[in-house]
Amino acid sequence: MTHPVRIAPSILSADFARLGEEVRAIDSAGADWIHVDVMDGHFVPNITIGPAVVKALRPHTAKPFDVHLMISPVDPYLEAFAEAGADIITVHPEAGPHLHRTIQRIKALGRKAGVSLNPATPAKMLDYVLEEVDLVLVMSVNPGFGGQSFIDSQLRKIEAIRKQIDRIGKSIHLEVDGGIDRDTAPRAIAAGADVLVAGTATFRGGPDAYAANIEALRGG
């Protein structure tokens, strides 16, 4: 069963002095979603942006905001990111004591809910929540920084999760983030991914290169 592939450029690799322009540029270059990496310097070793920046970027595109919260505790911030314009809110099982409750809260806020698995977090963490989520994000690098190399062992995890999703027959996106480029993208897709997050590979070469970069990730 083949799934259309969506490309979600990560603004972590954009020019932060020109974020609004960068979002408009990747939108017009063919991005399907805008991936927003939120890091708190606690759950991951880096600090990026908060809800105010998401809100400021919202008028620059109608594309879905795919907001990945790498923050702990995560629950106190769900409402702020929903109000700022996040369409999908993805959390880590380790970022709060009650993952199921967190997922329910995201959905109660009218947003799609995602769960992200770090490289050492097993697929079995999804056993009792998979039917509740709209998206699973497999991290193919350790979260915190852009520009890292793809961890090959995650391909087996992607394959395992794709089988779980297909078995329950629900429309759940399987997203991969970390070290995605024109070499690793086809491998992630072959393993079952249908959304690819790419920062460095999208933003390399400046705005004139964005459309070709995105097309290359699709296999074009």
Q: Catalytic: which of 32, 66, 134, 177?
A: 177
pLDDT of 44-81, one tens digit each?
Answer: 999 999 999 999 999 999 999 999 999 999 999 999 99
Whether residue 127 lies in the annotated active site: no
pLDDT of 29-42, one tens digit each?
Answer: 999 999 999 999 99
pLDDT of 92-134, one tens digit each?
Answer: 999 999 999 999 999 999 999 999 999 999 999 999 999 999 9
Q: Catalytic: which of 37, 66, 134, 194?
A: 37
Per residue, the 3-state secondary structure of the chain, as one string, reads: CCCCCEEEEEHHHCCHHHHHHHHHHHHHCCCCCEEEEEEECCCCCCECCCHHHHHHHHHHCCCCEEEEEECCCCHHHHHHHHHHCCCEEEECHHHCCCHHHHHHHHHHCCCEEEEEECCCCCHHHHCCCHHHCCEEEEECCCCCCCCCCCCCCHHHHHHHHHHHHHHHCCCCEEEEECCCCCCCHHHHHHHCCCEEEECHHHHCCCHHHHHHHHHHHHCC
What pLDDT shows up at residue 147?
A: 81
pLDDT higher than 60, residue 11? yes
Whether residue 208 lies in the annotated active site: no
What is the pTM assigned to this prediction?
0.97
What pLDDT shows up at residue 144?
A: 84
